[in-house]
Structure formats: structure tokens, C-alpha cells
Amino acid sequence: MNSIVAIVGRPNVGKSTLFNRLVQRRDAIVDSVSGVTRDRHYGKSDWNGKEFSVIDTGGYSIGSDDIFEEEIRKQVTLAIEEADIIVFVVDVEEGITPMDAEVAKILRKIKKPIFVTVNKVDNAMRDANAVEFYNLGLGGYHTISSINGSGTGDLLDAIAAKMPAPEAVDLEQVELPRFAVVGRPNAGKSSFINALIGKDRNIVTNIAGTTRDSIDTKYNRFGFDFNLVDTAGIRKKSKVKEDLEFYSVMRAVRSIEYADVIILVVDATRGFEGQDQSIFWLAEKNRKGVIILINKWDLVEKETNTMRDFEAMVRKQVAPFTDIPIIFTSVLTKQRIYKAIESAVEVFERRKFKIATSKLNDVMLDVIKSYPPPAIKGKFVKIKYCMQLPTLTPQFAFFCNLPQYVREPYKRFLENKLRDLYDFCGVPITIYFRQK
């Protein structure tokens, strides 16, 4: 599984600039997910053939020094718990501040790889001044300028060297699909899993998961073996709403990367909130299969069209990726909980569905002929050929004379046609246009 790299440090040392540089460095990188919380971000990157996730723990820009220190302590504690590698950013202009010393004191007690990163080093004088940071007691340091990128390549080389090589794993476990149950606190994740496995004798074994709150349980239903990743143990670290959101989204990051299909549990009494949306987009960006469970439906007062209206509201919130199974459940009464697992199995099968190139061309070239890409600046795009790429998830390449002139609405049109013609419900599709 991918390593998680957390960027920590006090406010205004350049953490976010470094984060943006890391996640926008290569074409293969997935965009960062905005809105996870007010000022914290999650993104994906790769370097020297190793993929990893980057978490920018952010810093508050209001409040007294005491509040600052408390926030920094929380963020560093979070990074220690959830990340594999920690990048501690400091500012050469200001030297070692009391807050830097406090962070270093916490970091000295842990065994994880820590990279002291001295930012804003853009000339030889500042490079000499950086020697001061040996006094943090964390060993050597890397000098960078996150604004212009100097030094970041060397830093990434050092970080990648600390990432583990892919482990030899039990092939049986790799082949079993993983379904991760995610969602905000108190949405009913624990109850859903307990309802599924509480009195069921098909459980074979428990395998320790990615964090101490995730358990991978081998489970059988409909004659189909899979691993159910239980992420129900999101601990309430604080009553502050933003902290709560960040902790649960951080746990979801781990679980989503570890899974094939995401079962997003939503509390029907609270609606489809910002955090639910954030977790949904994490799953979509990672190209995972998704189903949405609207739980506690028994507690909602209903009229004739209540279910239809609620479903329409959810689809509007997740637009344009609206082709997903939405199932209304009550784990207390076990209403439709097995339907949820059946849907997850179906999404898993669709995610690995392959279309023969000849059949794809027979169908899609007719569609394109009937509705060709609109001309732009007098240029006509001619699509000659298409194929499904040999990737783990559905990705398609369309070969044409002028790929740069194909706009987003036409890509969306082709995606919708693929969804209409082939059942990709619950599965993200990626479309590329390439020069013929």
C-alpha cells in the first residue's frame, strides 16, 4: 500500500506551497482534493516509481500563540499516528522559534523517518544560516525553496528511499476484493458491520489492517469471498467540528487506498453533508468503486416522494458522477443491508470489466459519427480509433488528429455513452484523447 507523507510545522513556513509542488509535479498525479476541511489538503504524488499520499496538516491563521501551539501539537500528534514519513518544515528567515522547538521535542520521541526541511533557502548566505537547525536534535536537514522548487528533488529522493519496497503478500488475500465501510462519525458504520457479521458464521479470519482502527475481516456472502475493511473506530479527539472532520477524513484516506469498493454510509437524519462529499471525492479521485448507503432511513418522516427527493439531492451533490447505486437502509431492522453487499459485489465486477477493442470500435465510432466533436476555431477533430487501456480500472483512449481541441463537455458525452452502453454503475471512468 502507498506510504503517507505528512507535512507539519507552524503557520506561514511554506507547508502549503511545498504540498502544491509535490502533488502537481507529474502528469500521473491526481489533483488534490479541496474542501476536506478549511485549510488542510490531501493529494497523491509519485517519485522514482513510488506512489505516495501527501497530507498538508495546515495551520490556523487566527488566535493567540497559545491556540497556535495547541493546534500545532494536535497536527503533529495526528501526523505521528497516521503518517509513515514526516516532513517538518521550518523557515530559515526566522530561525528556530519556540514553537519549532516544541514540535521537535515531540518528534524526537518517535521512530518514524523525519525530514527537517529548511524552507526559503534561495541563496548561499541563507544556506549557511540553515546550519542552526542542527540544534533541533533531529539530525541532518534538507534546504529547499518551495516557491521556485530548488532542493525539492533531493528531498523527494531521500523520502522515496525511506519508503518500503512492495511487500510479499499472501496471494489469496490480494485476490480477495476489499470493501471499505467509511463515513462520518455516528453514521452507523459499526452497526452496519455488526449487523452483517455479528451472528454470521461465515467469518474465517481477522487480519490486522492499515491502522489500529481498521480490521480486515474475511467474509462470505452469496458464495463470494471478500475482505470487509472496518474503519468504524474513528475516535473523537476533540469536540471541535473541523478536527472531527479532519480525523475521520484522514482515516478514510487510509481505508480508501486499501480498498476496491467504498461503501459510504450517510446518516439520513443529517443529510448528505460536506464531509460525506469529501470522502466521496476521495474515493472517486482514487478510482474506486462507490456505493452510497443512506442509513437510519427508519428515523426519517416520509411522504410520497421523500426517498425520490433525497436520492435526487444526493445525485446533485455528487454531480457529474451521478451513476452510482444509492441504497436506503436501516441497520437496526437489517433493512436492505444484504442488498448493499450485493451492490458492492456488482460494482467490484463492473470495475474489472473489459471490452474487446473491435466491439468497442464498432459501437463507439458509430456514436461519434452521429455526434462528432464540435469544431473549434475552424478545426475539425476526427476520431479514428478507440481502445480500453490495460489498467485495473476502466480507462479509455480515443485517438484523433487534434486531441487538444476536444473539450470537457464532449468527454462527458462519451463517458455517458459508455455508461449507457455498458453497465459501469458505481465505477469511475477515465477518458484520454491521444494524437493518432
Q: Check whether 366 is labelled as a binding-site residue.
A: no
**Which amino acid is present at 109?**
K
Q: Check whether 390 is labelled as a binding-site residue.
A: no
Q: Check whether 296 is labelled as a binding-site residue.
A: yes
Q: Are strands 224-230 and 215-221 parallel, antiparallel or unpaired?
A: antiparallel
Q: What does the block give as the cell for 345? A: 459485489
Q: Check whether 236 is labelled as a binding-site residue.
A: no
What is the C-alpha to C-alpha distance for residues 152 and 302, in angstroms, rounded to an integer?
Answer: 56
What is the C-alpha to C-alpha distance for residues 325 and 293, in angstroms, rounded to an integer?
Answer: 8
Q: Check whether 139 is labelled as a binding-site residue.
A: no
Q: Which residues pair with 265 in a beta bridge?
A: 293
Q: Check whether 271 is labelled as a binding-site residue.
A: no
Q: What does the block give as the cell for 212? A: 489500529
Q: Check whether 43 is labelled as a binding-site residue.
A: no
Q: Check whether 121 is labelled as a binding-site residue.
A: yes
What is the C-alpha to C-alpha distance for residues 427 and 262, in angstroms, rounded to an integer?
Answer: 10
Closest CA relative to residue 193, chosen from 248, 147, 230, 149: 230
Q: Check whether 11 is labelled as a binding-site residue.
A: yes
Q: Check whether 186 is labelled as a binding-site residue.
A: yes
What is the C-alpha to C-alpha distance for residues 293 and 335, in angstroms, rounded to an integer?
Answer: 11
What is the C-alpha to C-alpha distance for residues 243 and 236, in angstroms, rounded to an integer?
Answer: 9
Q: Decide: 320 and 356 in contact? Cβ < 8 Å.
A: no
Q: Check whether 49 is labelled as a binding-site residue.
A: no
What is the C-alpha to C-alpha distance for residues 13 and 90, in angstroms, rounded to an integer?
Answer: 6
SS3 content of the chain, % helix, strand, coil (to 5): 40, 25, 40
Q: Check whether 189 is labelled as a binding-site residue.
A: yes
Q: Check whether 185 is labelled as a binding-site residue.
A: yes
Q: Check whether 57 is labelled as a binding-site residue.
A: yes
Burial class (CB in 10 A: 0-12, 13-18, 19+), 239: exposed
**Which amino acid is present at 219?**
Y
Q: What does the block give as the cell for 177? A: 476484493
Q: Check whether 297 is labelled as a binding-site residue.
A: yes
Residues counted in the chain: 436
Q: Check whether 188 is labelled as a binding-site residue.
A: yes
Q: Check whether 15 is labelled as a binding-site residue.
A: yes
Rg of the chain in Å (alpha carbons): 24
What is the C-alpha to C-alpha distance for residues 100 and 87, in angstroms, rounded to an integer?
Answer: 13
Q: How far from 214 is each of 171, 227, 258, CA to CA, in Å? A: 20, 12, 10
Q: Check whether 56 is labelled as a binding-site residue.
A: yes
Q: What does the block give as the cell for 231? A: 474503519
Q: Check whether 44 is labelled as a binding-site residue.
A: no
Residue 52's H or E segment, with its range, is strand 50-56
**Which amino acid is present at 152?**
T
Q: Check whether 260 is labelled as a binding-site residue.
A: no
Q: Check whether 339 is labelled as a binding-site residue.
A: no
Beta strands in 9-135 (DSSP E): 33-37, 40-47, 50-56, 85-91, 114-119
What letter does residue 387 receive in the DSSP assignment? E
What is the C-alpha to C-alpha distance for residues 201 and 74, in angstroms, rounded to an integer?
Answer: 41
What is the C-alpha to C-alpha distance for residues 179 and 157, in angstroms, rounded to an integer?
Answer: 33
Q: Check whether 13 is labelled as a binding-site residue.
A: yes
Q: Check whether 281 is labelled as a binding-site residue.
A: no
Q: Check whether 104 is labelled as a binding-site residue.
A: no
Q: Check whether 183 is labelled as a binding-site residue.
A: yes
Q: Check whether 10 is labelled as a binding-site residue.
A: yes
Binding site for GTP: what residues are annotated?
9-16, 56-60, 119-122, 183-190, 230-234, 295-298
Binding site: what residues are annotated?
9-16, 56-60, 119-122, 183-190, 230-234, 295-298
